Structure 1
């Protein structure tokens, strides 16, 4: 990778880094970290392997860079859960944003899922320092809504797990979903309607 000087990367350098990261996202989302190779990333990016190694020290650095970039995007829908908003509307908005991310960012979802399935060897610190306190904060918000009688009393932790499971499924198992829905163009809207009904009935006192 270029030396640690403060010189701003040129447009070509910025473009090449972007090409490498986009190619790596494609390769990692298809093959997982262990199955991905620098040769595959180089071929997908349309660059030589030595060129890849000019910008990154190796596969691990590329993977960590992608994961670091992903965390903010991945946590943002939960960050925006507003304690001052209408409880049910806030929960449903969170569900819809997660479902939209499954549609719009399927590669990122599979990258995240692959890292977790491996035991989060590279993302572990982020889970502890970023996700856990945010998760506990929002669980407390949801619990407060329940204690005030706005929502049915259930375990907020497992509610959030259920939201993750029912939305990210559409990205992580996209091939299966496409086969079973026969590429139905209304599939996303139908999923949104179903999940709205599901969580509304679950949470309405």
Structure 2
């Protein structure tokens, strides 16, 4: 009988149940329903997202969900997936920089799953179907299965669409599902976009 992993909460800070967070001097609505959001994670995600907007003015924001049959003790599959997906995006669109975040979650299933968010230069692409196809092909080639969402992208070209995308992104910082891993394994990772 397989022993259930204990939840590891080291390395993560405060969970907020507030429905807003202060970011760049602005109160941003967040999806804190149910389990709340990790504030440290929210701040990192929002800062990376807005650095992308500072660079590109418009962004295509895409969210995908990836599942696998067997649990793994590390996130090496995500590193491989990200590198292969980025190589395909770069070859197809000529994009050198891509904002991203992935989070590792595990609830009732025996294996973890991943939520992935990407944000790219909105002047280079304004739809998600090609990126979604690339992600599906790369993940399925690696033996995983891709969960299709009814609506998986937002073209961010106004203050309203920015807030909508940040609200979607805040879902990745939710408290539920995280921590079922060993001490040295990360719950999430993000791009390292630099300010202009």
- Greater share of strand: 2
Length-normalised TM-score, structure 2 = 0.23
Query: Which of 1 and 2 has higher RCO (CA within 8 Å, sep 6+)?
Result: 2
Larger radius of gyration: 1
Length-normalised TM-score, structure 1 = 0.22
- Greater share of helix: 1
